[in-house]
Amino acid sequence: MNRINVCITVMCAAAVFSTAQAQQKITPPVATYWVSADTASGLPMGGGAPSMMDIGRMMLGGGDAGGPARSLLLELGSQRAAGGAPAAAHEIPPGLRMGASLPLESPQRVRAEPREDGPPEQFERPRGRLLIFWGCGEQAGPGQPFIVDFARLAQGEWPQGLFSRRVNVQRGPSPARSKTYGEWPNARDSQRVPGEASLRGDHAVRGNYTPDIRFSLDRHDFMDAVALNSARTGAAARLSWNAVAGATGYFASAMGGRDGSEDVVFWSSSASREFGEQLMTWLPPAEVARLIKERVVLAPATTECAVPAQFVAAAPAAFVRFIAYGDEANFVHPPRPKDPAAVWNQEWAVKVRFKSTASAMLGEEAQAAPRSRSRGAESSPPAEGAPAQGGGSGLPSPADAVQEGIKALRGIFGR
């Protein structure tokens, strides 16, 4: 057989195997478990993906100094019913420094109240505008800013191009998609993750509604903190940051306002118009790579970005949010059968994902988020997502305009 025939034979065999793999019958896992890890620097923003409401809280509140804050979100979804009251726990490695295990509590299902049609009696029509800028550069590009009038938006006049592009935001376990569900943190255990905690080592999840889950992390761990700096450079501003190890890409946004104005002004580092709220969370590496090609997300080699002078002029007081996307570790048991004709009956699947975030006022160096809060006489820490108490940020009244804009957006989009 000559070389050409050999190549053709090998290519055909590979094509047949690939087709067989694609046609292999797969049954979804009985249990799905997600571990979401975050390292946060700057103004405190809570353990999960920061929301638009968090912006207002942080602009109206303040944060104390300290080191980077680490946080975890554990979610277990199973298609099995519990044998009695749901009970499950994640047995953690010693390096996490949080005891032997973390309890996964099943939240009580609350029936949603019926929604009333039409605006509430005390509904106040939103005022002001949303001005959207985008792109890294000392001067804003053509077509900027994109303007959204809140009053017209509330009346149903939707400007063309208002919505962001489609982003593949992953959907993990949830009570709605699971027969039985457990999560941490919860009312039973919401201890803070130590600043020196490590996820490396052996992990196990056991419970009365899930098969035993075992996986090990060796090279994956909490990401390094983002050292975010911002400084005025003439009429513009410049963001700079460290090259975060393991980062797959970066994205930055800022929101602010001007004293005496009802306008809310937004900017993102995307090269095209992008509101970007859905980008401030964990994204799979393949999705980050796609968004880098589309110039929405900055490449991992990037360490600075200029904020246009027009945005700075419109929003002298602006709050910056930054995210470094991380890698993922995925496990499935049992492994895929080598025989493509064999059914792949999955028992469990695990996803461990990472990100590192930072926040600061534009023109100021990011203040580190607290590693731990002083408890004084063993006082309890504030509730997750609650505004910081005391020591206000000293911000001028533009924060009021931003907060009103956030309220308007939340009311319009029903968030």
pLDDT score of 44 more than 50 = yes
* Closest-CA residue to 298 (of 266, 269, 328, 273): 269
Inform me whether the pLDDT recorded for 146 exceeds 60.
yes
Residues 62 and 213: their CA atoms lie apart, in Å, by 41
Dist. CA 83–CA 109, nearest whole Å = 18
Position 308 scores a pLDDT of 97
Query: Which tokens go with 87?
Result: 């009970």
- 52 within domain boundaries: yes
Q: H-type helices in 27-159, by residue range?
A: 52-60, 150-154
Q: Distances in Å between the alpha carbon of 175 and those of 78, 178, 344?
A: 9, 5, 25
Closest by CA to 256, choosing from 322, 323, 312, is 312
Residue 281 included in any domain: yes
Residue 339, token pair as written in the block: 């025989």
Given a cut of 90, whether residue 197 has pLDDT beyond it is: yes
Does the pLDDT value for residue 292 go beyond 50?
A: yes
* Domain extent for 190: 25-107+125-369+393-413
Report helix, strand or coil for 42: strand
Per DSSP bridges, beta strands 26-27 and 344-345 are: parallel
By the 8 A CB rule, do 313 and 238 touch? no
Q: How far is CA 85 from the centre of its chain?
A: 31
Task: Reply yes or no on whether the pLDDT at 213 is more than 70.
Answer: yes
Side-chain half-sphere CA neighbours of 404 within 13 A: 21
Q: Give the integer Cα–Cα distance in Å for 279 and 257.
A: 22
Tallying the residues shown for the chain, one arrives at 415
Average pLDDT over residues 305-310: 97
One-letter amino acid of 280: M
Give me the number of domains the chain comprises. 1
Highest mean pLDDT among 6-10, 158-162, 370-374: 158-162
Examine residue 20 and state whether it is found in any structural domain, yes or no: no
Side-chain-side CA neighbours of 406 within 13 Å: the count stands at: 21
Query: Does residue 130 fall inside a structural domain?
Result: yes
What confidence tier does 383 reach under pLDDT thresholds 50, 70, 90?
very low
d(CA 149, CA 155): 10
**Beta strand ranges found along 187-248 (DSSP E):** 201-207, 213-217, 229-233, 236-240
In a domain, 243, yes or no: yes
Residue 53 has pLDDT above 50, yes or no: no
Q: Is 153 helix (H, G, I), strand (E, B) or coil?
A: helix
- For the entire predicted model, the pTM comes to 0.77
pLDDT at 289: 97
**Given pLDDT bands bounded at 50, 70 and 90, which one contains residue 114?**
low
The pLDDT, as a whole number, for residue 274 is: 85
In a domain, 339, yes or no: yes
DSSP readout, 304-347? EEEEPHHHHHH-SEEEEEEEEEEEEEEEEESPPPSSTTS-EE--
User: Does the pLDDT at position 76 exceed 60?
Assistant: yes
Q: Could you tell me if 398 and 315 are in contact, meaning their C-beta atoms sit under 8 angstroms apart?
A: yes
What Rg do the C-alpha atoms of the chain give, in angstroms? 24
pLDDT of residue 118: 52
- Is residue 14 assigned to a domain? no
Please name the residues in contact with 191: beta carbons below 8 A apart, sequence gap of 6 or more: 98, 185
Quick check: is 381 in a domain? Answer: no
Greater model confidence, 121 or 263? 263
